[in-house]
Amino acid sequence: MSLALGITLVVLSIILHEIAHGFIADKLGDPTARLAGRLTLNPFVHIDPIGSVALPGLLALTHSPFLLGWAKPVPYNPYNLNARKWGLPLQFGEALVGIAGPLTNVLLAIIFGSLLRYSGDLGLSATLVDALVLATMANLVLAIFNLIPLPPLDGSKVLSSILPTGMRLMYQRFEQRMYSFGPFGLLMVGLIAIYLLWPILSKLVLFLFTLIVAG
């Protein structure tokens, strides 16, 4: 029961991650996600059968040290983004859209972790506590993993937007080569990256989890 509830919270977190991208894009002048009906909590609009159901479920059932997943990407048009609305350079628009997802996961980790911190005072059941542990850890992993500057992760959009022009063009050529691997190739690169970085990432996740839950 706690596993099913935990996975449900993780899937909801993944959906909110994507909605955040579209919400910020809309605030910066691009209505693409809103017009496509993607700024909604209706899970059926966002769920990707593999990334939102199969992969998180498989990782949880096999007691993987990390839990990952994704929803259908929220569409946006970078040429409509106007970061000057928020007093930033125009090219920072994609960085703001990109960072919105991981920041949402950080916020969710703080919310779930705070419930854990006061679970005794709130009289939360053991089932709910276990689910909140899973959801808090998963949101921290999602936030950190998505900030890795490899396409199609959010970190690549953030880095590409803030680099000086010359370095940005070099990085965009690197992105094009990465995208030539196709969706399956990109997934494999991402999984290899997190496997290689996990000794470091796990320590960071545990540190942040302890900071949120224990203070």
- Looking at per-residue pLDDT, the higher value among 170 and 31 belongs to 31
Pick the most confident of 98-112, 142-156, 170-184.
98-112
pLDDT at 82: 95
- Looking at per-residue pLDDT, the higher value among 193 and 78 belongs to 78
The half-sphere exposure of 55 on its side-chain side, counting CA atoms within 13 A, is 18
pLDDT at 131: 94
61-67 contact pairs (CB < 8 A, 24+): 61/3, 65/198, 65/202, 66/141, 66/145, 66/194, 66/198, 66/201, 66/202, 66/205, 67/10, 67/134, 67/137, 67/138, 67/141
Residues belonging to the active site: 18
* Mean of pLDDT values over 25-31: 97
The conformation of residue 74, written as its DSSP 8-state character, comes to: P
pLDDT at 208: 97
Judge whether residue 111 has pLDDT over 90: yes
* Mean of pLDDT values over 179-207: 83
Domain range for 86? 2-214
pLDDT tens readout for residues 43-88: 899 988 888 888 787 877 787 777 777 889 999 999 999 999 999 9
pLDDT at 175: 84
Judge whether residue 14 has pLDDT over 90: yes
Distance CA 113, CA 52 (A): 22
Judge whether residue 4 has pLDDT over 90: no
Average pLDDT, the chain: 90
pLDDT at 181: 79
Question: Of 26-30, 32-36, 39-43, where does mean pLDDT reach its minimum?
Answer: 39-43
Q: Name the domain count of the chain.
A: 1
pLDDT at 137: 95
